[in-house]
Amino acid sequence: MHTLWKKVSRHLALAAACYLPEQRRIGLERRLRGREEARKLALCDAAIVSYGKSGRTWLRVMLSRFYQTKYGLSSRQLLGFDNLHRQSSSIPKLFFTHDNYLKDYTGHADSKADYAGHKVILLVRDPQDVAVSQFFQWKYRMRPAKKILNQYPPHDSDISLFDFVMYETAGLPKIIDFLNLWAEEMPKLDDLLLVRYEDLRSDTAGQMRRITDFLGTPGTEEAIRDAVEYASVDNMRKLEQEKKFWLSGSRMVPKDKANPHSYKVRRAKVGGWRDYFDDEQVARIEAYVNERLDPVYHYTPTKQAVNA
């Protein structure tokens, strides 16, 4: 109910500000969203932070299944902040965030000081795969207003996949800036767990065990295995087609059942970004990432990774 009221009040505030110039309206909406993110961060038991298209929905489905099975709850809803906590107080309040708007409210654009004192899971993915997935999200799923709010290319603009990937405010430059700031700030946070999407794919049960242990809710091998099997790619596509989680909004609902690119669960392929480019474009993309991305994530093979 509180979340619904916050959304309504935000829309009312924006409606009242309709006379403002566009950039001021955008700034106002970002601050209002940031205020709500700050509220949730203050109340949560842990924050799960990721750049968009880094596997957050997959992890959310696994954790939802894990807690629903563990505490005998209905499987119709996805885990969303405190919805499952209200049904069983043993389930942590989890704040899932893409870290988009908090800084607009707190002013901490160049640090992660807002997360100090909080338990944080940082979920990351190869930025090259992220950038390609972002293109399909932008083209087939993203609302026009969201594109304006987050500085994506204009709605229905004719931009190639390669140009989108290199786009300053939406592609690799923005993704790498996000990852590099987190790499710089990670040592300042005392209670942070770094999870790579690629490791989650190669050893899903092992990484899920790390995550549930970190959250203070360890599970049996059987419970972990059940959650992993439930969130398999094939089953998640089936769940999306059936609109299993329609109670949780549009998060797991295809925009167009006839278009596979409009599904939330698309390919889930590690390294699949290469399939979309010729050799020259692949070389340019790899060079861009290798020159700029912090090696702590182990996505830059030409560099000596630190903290290996």
Q: Where are the domains of the chain?
A: 23-297
CATH class of 23-297: alpha beta
Q: Give the Cα separation of 227 and 8 in Å (integer).
A: 34
Structure confidence at residue 246 (pLDDT): 46
Backbone phi, then psi, for 273, in 5-degree steps?
-60, -30
Which of the two residues, 250 and 82, has the higher pLDDT score? 82
| CA proximity to 194, closest of 302, 50, 79, 65 | 50
The lowest-confidence range among 128-137, 246-255, 273-282, 286-295 is 246-255
- Dihedral of CA atoms 236, 85, 197, 39 in degrees, nearest 10, equals 120
Q: Give the Cα separation of 306 and 295 in Å (integer).
A: 6
Q: Give the Cα separation of 156 and 7 in Å (integer).
A: 27
**Looking up tokens 């596997």, which residue turns up?**
55
Q: pTM, whole model, 2 decimals?
A: 0.86
- Dihedral of CA atoms 277, 143, 267, 66 in degrees, nearest 10, equals 150
Structure confidence at residue 212 (pLDDT): 98
Share of the chain above pLDDT 90, in %: 74
Buried b (16+ CB within 10 A) or exposed e, 220-238: eeebbebbbebbeeeebbe
Q: Give the Cα separation of 232 and 83 in Å (integer).
A: 23
Going by pLDDT thresholds of 50, 70 and 90, the confidence category of residue 11 is low
Convert the pLDDT of each residue in 61-77 to its tens digit.
Answer: 999 999 999 999 988 88
Backbone phi, then psi, for 244, in 5-degree steps?
-55, -40
Q: Is the pLDDT of residue 257 over 50?
A: yes
Residue range 190-195: mean pLDDT, rounded: 97
Residue range 168-185: mean pLDDT, rounded: 97
Q: Is the pLDDT of residue 169 over 50?
A: yes
Contact 86, 11 (CB under 8 A): no
Residue range 252-272: mean pLDDT, rounded: 60
